[in-house]
């Protein structure tokens, strides 16, 4: 599935930091803010995501997120 800006994604527990955000802070749903190649991933595509109801954001790779709500279906 193609991820677009505005989609709501679930942060998957694939790293220690992701597990901390999910378990301690309850941050499972995030909104995609940007999509672009990033230096931190050696030029690979990265997704800038922002936690719903929070100002926290972070860059992740595709395998770290799963689409929950597509932008076209949001009200």
pTM: 0.88
Residue-range domain boundaries for the chain = 8-73
pLDDT of residue 19: 93
Which of the four pLDDT bands, split at 50, 70 and 90, describes residue 75?
low
- 8, 71, 5: which is closest to 34 by C-alpha? 5
State the burial class of residue 60 (Cβ atoms within 10 Å of its Cβ: 0-12, 13-18, 19+): buried
pLDDT of residue 72: 74
Q: Tell me the C-alpha distance between 31 and 49, whole Å.
A: 5
- 32, 15, 33: which is closest to 66 by C-alpha? 32
- Is the pLDDT at 25 greater than 60? The verdict is yes
């Amino acid at each position: 599935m193609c991820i677009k800006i505005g989609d709501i994604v679930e942060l998957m527990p694939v790293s220690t930091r992701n597990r901390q955000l999910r378990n301690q802070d309850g941050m499972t749903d995030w909104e995609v803010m940007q999509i672009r190649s990033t230096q931190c991933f050696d030029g690979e595509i990265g997704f800038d995501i922002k936690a719903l109801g929070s100002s926290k954001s972070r860059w992740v790779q595709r395998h770290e997120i799963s689409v929950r709500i597509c932008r076209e279906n949001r009200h």
